[in-house]
Structure 1
Amino acid sequence: MSGYPNDEITNIGRHSSVSNGEWNQQTIYDARNVLLTQHSVDVSQQTPEQRSGKIVKPPIYPNHILHPEIIPSLDEVPAELIKRRHKRFNDPSNIDSFEIEMPLAIASSLQDELERAVQHRAAKDRNHDQTSVPESTDSENNLFEGVFEKESYPIIETIEIDEPLESTARQNLPRTSIYDKSCLREAFQRIKIAGDFDDMSHIEDLEDAVGPLLRAMVIREKYMIFSLQSFPPTVAKFLTKTLEQEDQSRRASSTVRANTEPKLRANSGGTSVQTPPKHTIASISTRTIPPQVLPNQKPPIVESNLPIKSAAHVSDDPHPFHPPVIKRDEAFNIPLLEAADVCVKAEKGIYRLYIPDDTKRWVQVDYPVVDRNQFIDDYTLLSAMITDGPLKSFCYRRLQYLKSRFELHCLLNEVKEWAAIKSTPHRDFYNVRKVDTHIHAASSMNQKHLLRFMKKKMKTSGDMHVYKTKDGKLMTLKEVFDELKITAYDLSVDMLGVHADRNTFQRFDRFNAKYNPLGQSALREIFIKTDNYIDGVFFADLLKEVMSDLEDSKYQHAELRLSIYGRSVDEWDKLANWCVRNTMYSANVGWMVQIPRLYDVYRANGITKNFQEFLTNLFQPLFDATIDPSSHPDLYRFMHHLTGFDSVDDETKPEKPIITADMPYPEEWNMKDNPPYVYYLFYMYANILTLNQLRRARGLNTYQFRPHCGEAGAVTHLVAAYMVAENISHGLLLRKSPVLQYLFYLCQIGIAMSPLSNNSLFINYNRNPMLEYFERGLCVSLSTDDPMQFHFTKEPLMEEYSIAAQVWKLSSVDMCELARNSVLMSGFSHEVKMYWLGPEYQESGVAGNDIRRTNVPAIRIAYRYEALCEELRLLGNAYKCRQDRKEKDRLLHQMEKKSTSVTKIERAVLNNGKHESTSNLPKPISSATNGNSGNNINMSRNPTTNVKGAAFHKQAKDNLQSILDNFNAIISLIRVDDPQLNPIKDQLPRILTNTTDDFEIRVRAYNMVRAFESLLKLVSDLKDQAVLYDFRAINDAVKAQRQRFKNQQSDLDTKLISLRDRLALELVKFEDEYANKSSFKILKE
Structure 2
Amino acid sequence: MSGYPNDEITNVGHHLSVSNGEWNQQTIYDARNVLLTQHSVDVSQQTPEQRSGKIVKPPIYPNHILHPEIIPSLDEVPAELIKRRHKRFNDPSNIDSFEIEMPLAIASSLQDELERAVQHRAAQDRNHDQTSIPESADSANNLFQGVFEKESYPTIETIEIDEPLESTSRQNLPRASIYDKSSLREAFQRIKIAGDFDDMSHIEDLEDAVGPLLRAMVIREKYMIFSLQSFPPTVAKFLTKTLEQEDQSRRASSTVRANTEPKLRTNSGGTSGQIPPKHTIPSIPTRTIPPQVSPNQKLPIVENDPHPFHPPVIKRDEAFNIPLLEAADVCVKAEKGIYRLHIPDDAKGWVQVDYPVVDRNQFIDDYTLLSAMITDGPLKSFCYRRLQYLKSRYELHCLLNEVKEWAAIKSTPHRDFYNVRKVDTHIHAASSMNQKHLLRFMKKKMKTSGDMHVYKTKDGKLMTLKEVFDELKITAYDLSVDMLGVHADRNTFQRFDRFNAKYNPLGQSALREIFIKTDNYIDGVFFADLLKEVMSDLEDSKYQHAELRLSIYGRSIDEWDKLANWCVRNTMYSANVGWMVQIPRLYDVYRANGITKNFQEFLTNLFKPLFEATIDPSLHPDLFRFMHHLTGFDSVDDETKPEKPIITADMPHPEDWNMKDNPPYVYYLFYMYANILTLNQLRRARGLNTYQFRPHCGEAGAVTHLVTAYMVAENISHGLLLRKSPVLQYLFYLCQIGIAMSPLSNNSLFINYNRNPMLEYFERGLCVSLSTDDPMQFHFTKEPLMEEYSIAAQVWKLSSVDMCELARNSVLMSGFSHEVKMYWLGPEYQESGVAGNDIRRTNVPAIRIAYRYEALCEELRLLGNAYKSRQDRKEKDRLLHQMEKKSTSVANIEHAVLNNGKHESTSNLPKPISSTINGNSGNKINMSRNPTTNVKGAAFHKQAKDNLQSILDNFNAIIALIRVDDPQLNPIKDQLPRILTNTTDDFEIRVRAYNMVRAFESLLKLVSDLKDQAVLYDFRAINDAVKAQRQRFKNQQSDLDTKLISLRDRLALELVKFEDEYANKSSFKIPKE
TMscore range, shorter length: 0.7 to 0.9
Instruction: Give the Å deviation of 1:930.
Output: 50
* CA distance 1:20–1:428, change in 2 (3 Å): farther
Deviation string, structure 1 residues 92-115 (Cα, Å, up to 9, x no partner): 345353334311133687764454
* CA distance 1:248–1:326, change in 2 (3 Å): closer
Instruction: Give the Å deviation of 1:891.
Output: 1.5
3-state SS, counterpart of residue 934 of structure 1:
helix
Instruction: Give the Å deviation of 1:946.
Output: 32
Single out whichever of 36-45 and 979-988 deviates more from structure 2: 979-988
Determine if contact 1:218/1:239 at 8 Å carries over to the other structure.
yes
Deviation string, structure 1 residues 919-977 (Cα, Å, up to 9, x no partner): 99999999999999999999999999999999999999999999999999999999999
* CA distance 1:146–1:638, change in 2 (3 Å): same
Map of 2:451 onto structure 1: 463
**How many pairs align?**
1073
- In structure 1, distance between residues paired with 2:945 and 2:22: 103
Instruction: Give the Å deviation of 1:51.
Output: 1.4
Instruction: Give the Å deviation of 1:480.
Output: 0.5
Single out whichever of 705-714 and 973-982 deviates more from structure 2: 973-982
- In structure 1, distance between residues paired with 2:967 and 2:501: 88
Deviation string, structure 1 residues 65-118 (Cα, Å, up to 9, x no partner): 111111111100000000011112365345353334311133687764454456
Identity %: 96
Single out whichever of 948-957 and 995-1004 deviates more from structure 2: 995-1004
- In structure 2, distance between residues paired with 1:132 and 1:77: 43
Determine if contact 1:279/1:364 at 8 Å carries over to the other structure.
no
Single out whichever of 101-110 and 165-174 deviates more from structure 2: 165-174
* CA distance 1:2–1:329, change in 2 (3 Å): farther
3-state SS, counterpart of residue 473 of structure 2:
coil
- In structure 1, distance between residues paired with 2:27 and 2:239: 39
Determine if contact 1:446/1:787 at 8 Å carries over to the other structure.
yes
Deviation string, structure 1 residues 204-260 (Cα, Å, up to 9, x no partner): 000000000000000000000000000000000000000012273333322332324
Single out whichever of 12-21 and 660-669 deviates more from structure 2: 12-21
- In structure 2, distance between residues paired with 1:705 and 1:416: 39
3-state SS, counterpart of residue 594 of structure 1:
strand
Determine if contact 1:498/1:514 at 8 Å carries over to the other structure.
yes
3-state SS, counterpart of residue 454 of structure 2:
strand
Instruction: Give the Å deviation of 1:298.
Output: 30
Determine if contact 1:135/1:167 at 8 Å carries over to the other structure.
no
Single out whichever of 549-558 and 910-919 deviates more from structure 2: 910-919
Deviation string, structure 1 residues 182-205 (Cα, Å, up to 9, x no partner): 534323111221222111111000
* CA distance 1:1051–1:513, change in 2 (3 Å): closer
3-state SS, counterpart of residue 14 of structure 2:
coil
Determine if contact 1:395/1:738 at 8 Å carries over to the other structure.
yes
Single out whichever of 321-330 and 494-503 deviates more from structure 2: 321-330
Determine if contact 1:10/1:319 at 8 Å carries over to the other structure.
no
Map of 1:883 onto structure 2: 871
Determine if contact 1:973/1:1001 at 8 Å carries over to the other structure.
yes
- In structure 2, distance between residues paired with 1:41 and 1:412: 49
* CA distance 1:141–1:202, change in 2 (3 Å): closer
Single out whichever of 1025-1034 and 946-955 deviates more from structure 2: 1025-1034
Single out whichever of 779-788 and 953-962 deviates more from structure 2: 953-962
* CA distance 1:996–1:511, change in 2 (3 Å): farther
C-alpha RMSD over aligned residues? 17.7
Deviation string, structure 1 residues 902-930 (Cα, Å, up to 9, x no partner): 97999999999999999999999999999
Map of 1:186 onto structure 2: 186
Single out whichever of 1039-1048 and 840-849 deviates more from structure 2: 1039-1048
Single out whichever of 360-369 and 673-682 deviates more from structure 2: 360-369
Deviation string, structure 1 residues 957-1006 (Cα, Å, up to 9, x no partner): 99999999999999999999999999999999999999999999999999
- In structure 2, distance between residues paired with 1:861 and 1:1036: 49
Single out whichever of 156-165 and 1044-1053 deviates more from structure 2: 1044-1053
Would you say 1:545 and 2:533 are equivalent positions? yes
Determine if contact 1:63/1:255 at 8 Å carries over to the other structure.
no
Instruction: Give the Å deviation of 1:832.
Output: 0.8
Single out whichever of 699-708 and 1007-1016 deviates more from structure 2: 1007-1016
**Pick aligned residue for 1:1074 from 1062, 1070, 1073:** 1062
Instruction: Give the Å deviation of 1:892.
Output: 1.3
Map of 1:801 onto structure 2: 789
Determine if contact 2:738/2:768 at 8 Å carries over to the other structure.
yes
Deviation string, structure 1 residues 27-86 (Cα, Å, up to 9, x no partner): 999999999559677957842321133322121111111111111111000000000111
Single out whichever of 317-326 and 616-625 deviates more from structure 2: 317-326
* CA distance 1:823–1:1008, change in 2 (3 Å): same
Instruction: Give the Å deviation of 1:896.
Output: 2.6
Instruction: Give the Å deviation of 1:437.
Output: 0.3
Deviation string, structure 1 residues 478-527 (Cα, Å, up to 9, x no partner): 01001101000000000000000000000000000000000000000000
Single out whichever of 7-16 and 486-495 deviates more from structure 2: 7-16
Determine if contact 1:434/1:556 at 8 Å carries over to the other structure.
yes
3-state SS, counterpart of residue 1066 of structure 2:
helix
| Higher Cα Rg, which structure | 1
- In structure 2, distance between residues paired with 1:688 and 1:127: 45
Determine if contact 1:446/1:793 at 8 Å carries over to the other structure.
yes
Instruction: Give the Å deviation of 1:670.
Output: 0.3
* CA distance 1:820–1:831, change in 2 (3 Å): same
Instruction: Give the Å deviation of 1:894.
Output: 2.8
Instruction: Give the Å deviation of 1:402.
Output: 0.1
* CA distance 1:848–1:1007, change in 2 (3 Å): same
Deviation string, structure 1 residues 576-618 (Cα, Å, up to 9, x no partner): 0000000000000000000000000000000000000000000
Single out whichever of 131-140 and 723-732 deviates more from structure 2: 131-140
Determine if contact 1:782/1:818 at 8 Å carries over to the other structure.
yes
Instruction: Give the Å deviation of 1:1016.
Output: 33
Single out whichever of 37-46 and 448-457 deviates more from structure 2: 37-46
Determine if contact 1:34/1:300 at 8 Å carries over to the other structure.
no
- In structure 1, distance between residues paired with 2:913 and 2:1028: 9
Determine if contact 1:342/1:353 at 8 Å carries over to the other structure.
yes
3-state SS, counterpart of residue 340 of structure 1:
coil
* CA distance 1:646–1:1063, change in 2 (3 Å): farther
- In structure 2, distance between residues paired with 1:778 and 1:119: 29
Which residues of structure 2 form unaligned runs of 5+? none
Single out whichever of 274-283 and 444-453 deviates more from structure 2: 274-283
* CA distance 1:1009–1:587, change in 2 (3 Å): same
Instruction: Give the Å deviation of 1:5.
Output: 19
* CA distance 1:7–1:752, change in 2 (3 Å): closer
Determine if contact 2:918/2:1017 at 8 Å carries over to the other structure.
no
Single out whichever of 179-188 and 350-359 deviates more from structure 2: 179-188
Instruction: Give the Å deviation of 1:357.
Output: 1.4
* CA distance 1:909–1:552, change in 2 (3 Å): closer
Determine if contact 1:259/1:280 at 8 Å carries over to the other structure.
no
Map of 1:242 onto structure 2: 242
* CA distance 1:787–1:934, change in 2 (3 Å): closer
**Pick aligned residue for 2:319 from 318, 327, 331:** 331
* CA distance 1:295–1:126, change in 2 (3 Å): closer
3-state SS, counterpart of residue 583 of structure 2:
strand
3-state SS, counterpart of residue 184 of structure 1:
helix
Determine if contact 1:89/1:393 at 8 Å carries over to the other structure.
no
* CA distance 1:809–1:485, change in 2 (3 Å): same
Map of 2:297 onto structure 1: 297
| Structure-to-structure mapping, 1:116-131, within 5 angstroms | 116=116, 128=128
* CA distance 1:472–1:253, change in 2 (3 Å): same
Instruction: Give the Å deviation of 1:775.
Output: 0.1
3-state SS, counterpart of residue 257 of structure 2:
coil
Single out whichever of 89-98 and 526-535 deviates more from structure 2: 89-98
Which residues of structure 1 form unaligned runs of 5+? 304-315
- In structure 1, distance between residues paired with 2:68 and 2:972: 37
TM-score, normalised relative to structure 1 = 0.75
Single out whichever of 52-61 and 832-841 deviates more from structure 2: 52-61
TM-score, normalised relative to structure 2 = 0.75
- In structure 2, distance between residues paired with 1:72 and 1:283: 36
Would you say 1:473 and 2:461 are equivalent positions? yes
* CA distance 1:609–1:863, change in 2 (3 Å): same
Determine if contact 2:175/2:183 at 8 Å carries over to the other structure.
no
Single out whichever of 906-915 and 882-891 deviates more from structure 2: 906-915
Map of 1:893 onto structure 2: 881
- In structure 2, distance between residues paired with 1:456 and 1:930: 103
* CA distance 1:1028–1:495, change in 2 (3 Å): closer
Instruction: Give the Å deviation of 1:1035.
Output: 57
